[in-house]
Chains A and B, each alone.
Chain A
């Protein structure tokens, strides 16, 4: 049944170094394909660490992380890099974009590194630019003038939408959004989330949305409280 699960965590333990205290200890955590999951927890509860493990940037000290049925621990470094670029789109809190590239170049950037995502776009009978424009249009960013503006002259909200289009291009199976709305005001936040959901639905991507902002919680079909499932042992030092 693991193939229908986007993410499957088993007896995960993680510490940064052997003599440092344990940061993560999660017995089990499953996310089904196509789900929209809200992961919340106070600062320092290990949210970012968990994301780095899901992305394969770090490997668990013990236990197993499976993404799309692949156990990340069995892959080599370059294989994990490949896997990440093929299957996961990222949206960060701030400064998501490469300042010296244009809006369209930023959006199509993942296709430079992932042949899989590039081919997905090209197989749907569109050029990379067409697809980028289509996504930007869906995110209310297709305005001619906006597209040709330098990245540094876009508002934070506009930047986040460009970053979203970039995460979505080539329809990766998983979108990881790390507090993407914290720099936006509440009206913008709602609108941004609506667009994000809509697009994830269209590409049937699994959305992992990490935030400490509980107001957004009701909008998601599934919630995970990290401070509840994460029980690091603090006794053994």
Chain B
């Protein structure tokens, strides 16, 4: 106890150097824990993007590519799949439900996703949580839209708002489907997944706005009004991908093989959990590099403390001799020096934690920040300029 109070007084005496050491330790601790936190949060949000879906099916391509465009809405599909193939597997007796997805259009930089009511019924994220409506309800009419949380928030949209879909995925696209505006009928709760950044419209809506378009171009002179389009057959011919929920998970591989071996069209079925893991492994190099750098920062902080302590040791020889002469035993002198370092490290760690949590409280919840960073996709970004 005597030694502890001596250590404390000695540190107070050298408060300037001591506070610098505490600062450097605090910063490195905050950095280490911060990086660790970002790691786990991003891993979680990754794994939480999709849940309860057994298979994701798209045109034949790599698992990660399919996952990226269908679930994360990053990049583009290599090809579309036909409505017939979709119908074929949707009617498979082993399949409990399916969610068709049609991508390719956008609204002010946010992806537009064509789907049907099954999306709101069956799509699940995190630990099998269903999508919830903050306001409004699922679309019923052809020209109705449901917004993700971020879309509504960023663009200050309310229910009843008319929005115009742009052809392609650019924010300043010149090809607008201006003649067929959509009405916002629902806004979803935040999920921390790409759903937040999507505009959902019915598949029939996608079909309707493209009635007078061929091969991605507006056909000159051809004009089909919104009303006229409603009277036409709006069954889609192509979709981008679909998600599958099975009656029994045991059948997963069987259905996957069946889809992959489908004769009429080259398809790929992937297990989202496996693909997520593969995607995460891809990122783990960067993740580990970050961790190594942080560990080095902590090491530098500690070495800094060691340097200061050792440099001080020489000056403090006299002090130690005096302490020995008044009866301090070698263990006391050791405890004095070690105690000071321990005290500095402890205070540094405590300050580091305080620093980290203050930063977390001040900034938005970290997961939200990460999601925004991740899902402002490269593609959209470039198109925005």
- The yes or no answer to B88 lying at the interface (CB within 8 A) is no
- Using CB atoms, name the residue of chain A closest to B318: A95
Q: How many residues of B contact A (CB 8 A)?
A: 19
Query: Once the chains bind, are B326 and A166 in contact (CB under 8 Å)?
Result: yes
Query: Once the chains bind, are A99 and B326 in contact (CB under 8 Å)?
Result: no
- The yes or no answer to B328 lying at the interface (CB within 8 A) is yes
Stretch at the interface among B8-16, B59-67, B347-355: B8-16
C-alpha spacing A194/B51, complex, angstroms: 91
Known contacts A100-B10, A100-B13, A101-B9; is-contact A81 B322 (Cβ 8 Å) = no
A110 proximity list for chain B (CB < 8 A): 326-327
Known contacts A112-B2, A113-B2; is-contact A99 B319 (Cβ 8 Å) = yes
- Using CB atoms, name the residue of chain A closest to B1: A112
**Within the complex, what minimum Cβ distance (angstroms) separates A172 from chain B?**
10
Which of B2, B12, B324, B326 contacts A100, CB < 8 Å? B12
- The yes or no answer to A45 lying at the interface (CB within 8 A) is no
Render B315-358 as a binary contact track against A, CB cut-off 8 A, 1 for contact.
00011001111111110100000000000000000000000000
Query: Once the chains bind, are B328 and A100 in contact (CB under 8 Å)?
Result: no
C-alpha spacing A99/B9, complex, angstroms: 10
Query: Once the chains bind, are B332 and A100 in contact (CB under 8 Å)?
Result: no
The A137-184 residues at the B interface (CB cut-off 8 A) are 166
- Using CB atoms, name the residue of chain A closest to B325: A90
C-alpha spacing A99/B332, complex, angstroms: 18
Which of B319, B327, B329, B330 contacts A98, CB < 8 Å? B319
B330 proximity list for chain A (CB < 8 A): 77, 81
Query: Once the chains bind, are B318 and A100 in contact (CB under 8 Å)?
Result: no
The B273-332 residues at the A interface (CB cut-off 8 A) are 318-319, 322-330, 332
**Within the complex, what minimum Cβ distance (angstroms) separates A208 from chain B?**
14
Query: Once the chains bind, are A81 and B329 in contact (CB under 8 Å)?
Result: yes
C-alpha spacing A77/B2, complex, angstroms: 21
Query: Once the chains bind, are A113 and B326 in contact (CB under 8 Å)?
Result: yes
Known contacts A113-B2, A113-B332; is-contact A98 B325 (Cβ 8 Å) = no
Query: Once the chains bind, are A90 and B326 in contact (CB under 8 Å)?
Result: yes
- Using CB atoms, name the residue of chain B closest to A91: B325
Query: Once the chains bind, are A96 and B322 in contact (CB under 8 Å)?
Result: yes
- Using CB atoms, name the residue of chain A closest to B9: A100
- The yes or no answer to A97 lying at the interface (CB within 8 A) is yes
Query: Once the chains bind, are A92 and B9 in contact (CB under 8 Å)?
Result: no
**Within the complex, what minimum Cβ distance (angstroms) separates B3 from chain A?**
8
Query: Once the chains bind, are B12 and A98 in contact (CB under 8 Å)?
Result: no
**Within the complex, what minimum Cβ distance (angstroms) separates A57 from chain B?**
8
C-alpha spacing A77/B324, complex, angstroms: 13
A96 proximity list for chain B (CB < 8 A): 322
Which of A77, A98, A99, A114 contacts B323, CB < 8 Å? A98
Query: Once the chains bind, are B327 and A114 in contact (CB under 8 Å)?
Result: yes
Known contacts A95-B318, A98-B319; is-contact A85 B10 (Cβ 8 Å) = no
**Within the complex, what minimum Cβ distance (angstroms) separates B25 from chain A?**
22
- Using CB atoms, name the residue of chain B closest to A97: B322
Query: Once the chains bind, are A85 and B326 in contact (CB under 8 Å)?
Result: yes
B329 proximity list for chain A (CB < 8 A): 78, 81-82, 113
Render A59-103 as a binary contact track against B, CB cut-off 8 A, 1 for contact.
000000000000000000110011011100010100111111100
Query: Once the chains bind, are A113 and B327 in contact (CB under 8 Å)?
Result: yes
B323 proximity list for chain A (CB < 8 A): 98
C-alpha spacing A92/B318, complex, angstroms: 11
**Within the complex, what minimum Cβ distance (angstroms) separates B11 from chain A?**
9
**Within the complex, what minimum Cβ distance (angstroms) separates A72 from chain B?**
15
- The yes or no answer to A224 lying at the interface (CB within 8 A) is no
- Using CB atoms, name the residue of chain A closest to B11: A100
- The yes or no answer to A109 lying at the interface (CB within 8 A) is yes
Render B1-33 as a binary contact track against A, CB cut-off 8 A, 1 for contact.
010001001101110000000000000000000
**Within the complex, what minimum Cβ distance (angstroms) separates B240 from chain A?**
73
C-alpha spacing A42/B330, complex, angstroms: 32
Query: Once the chains bind, are A98 and B322 in contact (CB under 8 Å)?
Result: yes
Query: Once the chains bind, are A92 and B319 in contact (CB under 8 Å)?
Result: no
A84 proximity list for chain B (CB < 8 A): 325, 327
**Within the complex, what minimum Cβ distance (angstroms) separates A215 from chain B?**
26
B325 proximity list for chain A (CB < 8 A): 55, 84, 90, 92
Given A98-B6, A100-B10: 17 more A-B contacts, CB < 8 Å: A57-B324, A81-B329, A82-B327, A82-B329, A95-B318, A96-B322, A97-B322, A98-B319, A100-B9, A100-B13, A101-B9, A105-B9, A110-B326, A110-B327, A113-B2, A113-B327, A166-B326
Contacts from A to B (Cβ < 8 Å): 55, 57, 77-78, 81-82, 84-86, 90, 92, 95-101, 105, 109-110, 112-114, 166
Which 3 A-B residue pairs are closest in the complex by CB-CB distance?
A85-B327, A100-B13, A113-B327
A sample of 19 cross-chain residue pairs with beta-carbon separation below 8 angstroms, ordered by A number, consists of A57-B324, A81-B327, A81-B330, A85-B326, A85-B327, A90-B326, A92-B322, A95-B322, A98-B6, A98-B322, A100-B13, A101-B6, A105-B9, A110-B326, A112-B2, A113-B2, A113-B326, A113-B327, A114-B327
